[in-house]
Structure 1
Amino acid sequence: MKLMFLGDIVGKAGRDVVVAEVPRLREQLGLDFVVANGENAAHGFGISPKICEDLFDAGVDVITGGNHSWDRPEILSYIDEEPRLLRPANFPSGTPGKGVSLFDSRDGKHRVLVINVMCRLFMELLDNPFDALEKALPEGDPAAAGFDCVLVDMHGEATSEKYGIGHFCDGRASLVVGTHTHVPTGDAHILEHGTGYQTDAGMCGDYDSVIGMQKEGSLDRFLNRLPKPRMQPAEGEATLCGTVIETDPKTGLAKRVQPIRIGGKLSPTWPG
């Protein structure tokens, strides 16, 4: 099967490019499933029920989260009602929503396990993501457990921790891909035991910015340490950034993993 994962959607610019491109990409690339990280979709901070519905209508099957999952208070009740919206699995017990869930593709032919975890280095100290992954991952390869694809969205800052998670999941997940830094890394490849990996998928947002936020306000924060108003998302033409994986039906592991970038400031990259 073929799955596309999209990095952090930042503000209206990010939402617009995702809504515009996903229907076309599903058809042109023959995508069976689409997952996107949406924790910055609502004006850069959190996500709203309306935005979730717009993304689902555009062809996104599952939305993952991160440290901004709770920035919009209305999401607290919505996440319990909408199984397609996930938050990191290593939030404490009793937190609303789920961090791990099994989904069917829209044509009913494929089963996809999606796991969302948040890293701990330079981040809020949640429960150990490795413990959460050990509980969620199959013991062997994905196909042996009845899955066509097992996707892990690791939301974190440190590349070392992300690589550690990648190797920890190797052979048990189809794709381990990072979010949070909003910068796409050039290391999409297949690990030793068959898991596709990329340290960060990048953001869906305006790259004439500071990680999606207006550059003037961001520079002012670096230059002057006085209290500042909340940063505002950049609103220029956005780049859609993500990762496309094709899995082996015999194992559910990666046959091919490649980045995708469309529009905006970054050099375009199209899965071959």
Structure 2
Amino acid sequence: MRRLMNVTPNRGGRWLLALLPFALIAMLYAMASAQRLAVNAEDKVLPSLSSMVQTLHRTALEEDRRTGERIFWADTKVSLKRLGQGLAISIAIALVLGLAIGLLPMMSATFSPLMAVISMVPPMAILPILFIAFGLDELSKVMLIIIGVAPCLIRDLALKVSQLPKEQLVKAQTLGASTWQVMLRVALPQAMPRLIESTRLMLGPAFLFLISAEAISADAGLGYRIFLVRRYLSMDLILPYVAWITLLAYVADTLLVQCSRRLFPWAHEVRA
């Protein structure tokens, strides 16, 4: 008797099983929307799929009369720029401090408690402080992402480096490697796959911080647009924007996975 836990779907079956939940969600939404619209044709809570497609077509393909831009793509460009800057700076800070804290006992004793405390501070609670300190322009939005993401990346990377086999570090020093050489040639290559994994896990919080900052103070961006039209109950625009943000996060996650597999195939072979 073949047990269910031993049944592995083929490639086509995987695609079918992956698409099945999305198809069910779309079907349930269409049924719920049709039922509400049958009772009230002016209902805005659950707009029909056709109305969302029309709204998306208008914002993505037609130029705005006031700005001359395609609003959908302009908002996407602005938000991705902010997100990219915040994540890039966070990763750079994590690389420097994470390696130093994980490898150097003096740095660990000095900065580990600080990083533990900072990582527990709710970033949204200090958003008003960021607006006061850095103004309402781009810097405050990028800083919110950095403060929310960098400490967690630092702690995770430092933990990975501190768990490296001591035999590797001793052998490298026996062969004459300096502290910098051990850090760059032994610790860094093994820490990079973990850094990519941690970045993947922080994509969701990073988008959350971005949307929150844009909702409070911005004149463009995905979060700004969502909170701008909420007063009109424009669910035909809000739902496509939410779906688009989710798709962007999923694409970014997939790209990070592919990047890790191409640059560090040995790490994935070990897991397999």
TM-score normalised by structure 2 residue count: 0.22
TM (norm. structure 1) is: 0.22
Higher helix share: 2
Could you say which structure has the larger radius of gyration? Answer: 2
* Greater relative CO (CA pairs within 8 A, separation 6+): 2
